[in-house]
Every structure is written in C-alpha cells, then in structure tokens.
Chain A
Amino acid sequence: QTVVTQEPSLTVSPGGTVTLTCASSTGAVTSGYSPNWFQQKPGQAPRALIYRTSDKHSWTPARFSGSLLGGKAALTLSGVQPEDEAEYYCLLYYGGAYVFGPGTKVTVL
C-alpha cells in the first residue's frame, strides 16, 4: 500500500513564504512521479495549480512554484495573500495509479 504524506497544517503570515512538501513511502520523489498540486477551498472543487513537478497552468499565480526538495515534491508560496488560505493536496503517479496526499491546511494569520 503506497502512502503519500504531507504536513497536516502550516501557518504563514501575510506576505510571508511557506513550503509544503509531499513524500512517498516508496522512496525519493522524482520527476517520474509527475507531481501535481491542487488547492481546495471549503465548498469548492479542487483547482489545479502545478503539474509535472513545476509547470504552471495559465491561471496559476506567479507566487506559487513547484520543485523537488530533499527527495520530496515541494510547493512554495511566496508573498502569501489572505486568499491563499486553503487545503493543498499533492498527487503522485505510480505507473497507472495515482495517489493523493492527505492534504495540508494552510492558515494565513
């Protein structure tokens, strides 16, 4: 049973920077896992932010960036805005199957 892990919660001040990570129970996350990141606010469908580790969709704000960091996939929010308060999910690809992480609740305070 493959398990993907994320920080349960993180708090950041407005204008600050926060990095969320996404780890795999199978070992180091590489670009082959095609990490995706999604944002979800209460009562809304998820919104895609990052695909293939670091590629942004046309609607992804510039302050969001994806990378690989210390064997994990990472999502960095720079210059955080109040509207960035949300749940963030990573998704990894395991050759035919996809596994979401449990999500990170980001609070802007």
Chain B
Amino acid sequence: QVQLVESGGGGVQPGRSLRLSCAASGFTFSSYGMHWVRQAPGKGLEWVAVIWYDGSNKDYADSVKGRFTISRDNSKNTLFLQMNSLRAEDTAVYYCARDDQTFDYWGQGTLVTVS
C-alpha cells in the first residue's frame, strides 16, 4: 500500500536551517510528482512546493520562494525540503503528498517549530 513518512522536523531558532524528508513506498516513486503542504497550528492548509516526477520542474509558494528548495532522490524513493532562513511564521506541520494533480496520498506530517 502507498505510504509516505515525513521526518526531520523539530525545534529550530529563527534564521537557521532544517531539512525535511519524505520516505515513499508502495508505488513507483519516480513516476509521480510530489508536493509539500504545511499547516500552522490551528490554521488552514498552505501549499508550499511541487516537484515533477523526474525533478525537471519545481514551483514554490511566494511565501517560501528563495528560502526553501524541494528536491528528490528517485533512487532512494525520497522527497526533500531544504528550509533556510527560517522564520516564526514557518512554524507548521509539514505534509508531503503524492501526485502533482490529485494530491491523492498524504503522509502524517512532521512538526517544525521556529522560535
């Protein structure tokens, strides 16, 4: 079955960096675009970034452009989000989601706290 497991979250000071991972299993990872979506405590969902199946194209929300980088390693079935220059407003649960069009499967999320 499709499984997405995020990791790498934790507490970090403003201005520092953090790298999130999303380990995928149960499907052909290299055939699917992938997203990062975040949710601040008690708030709604916010789309963060997308990467095509082969890594050839990436797009970002304006709120993270220039600070966050999405990448993937298809040989290790893993999606990444490198987060630099973190701000308090980046505090959120970060989810990875499969498929650039349908967002069909989601992980359980990893919490990032910037303070």
Contacts and interface: CB of A to CB of B under 8 A. Distances in A.
B75 interface: no
B27 interface: no
Interface in A44-77: 45-48, 51-52, 55, 57
Chain A: number of interface residues, binned into ranges: 20 to 34
B24 to A, nearest CB: 15
Contact of A89 (B44, B61, B102, B109): B44
B106 A89 contact: no
Given A89-B45, A103-B45, A96 B59 contact: yes
Contacts of A87: 44
Nearest to B102: A51
Nearest to A44: B108
B47 A47 contact: no
Contacts of B89: none
Contacts of B44: 87, 89, 100-103
Contacts of A22: none
Interface string B71-115: 000000000000000000000000100000111111111000000
B104 A48 contact: yes
A100 B92 CA distance: 15
Nearest to A2: B62
B106 A45 contact: yes
Contact of A57 (B101, B104, B107): B104
A97 interface: yes
Contacts of B95: 45-46
A47 B45 CA distance: 12
Contact of B101 (A45, A46, A51, A102): A51
B42 to A, nearest CB: 11
A61 to B, nearest CB: 16
B102 A57 contact: yes
Interface of B: 35, 37, 44-47, 50, 59, 61-62, 95, 101-109
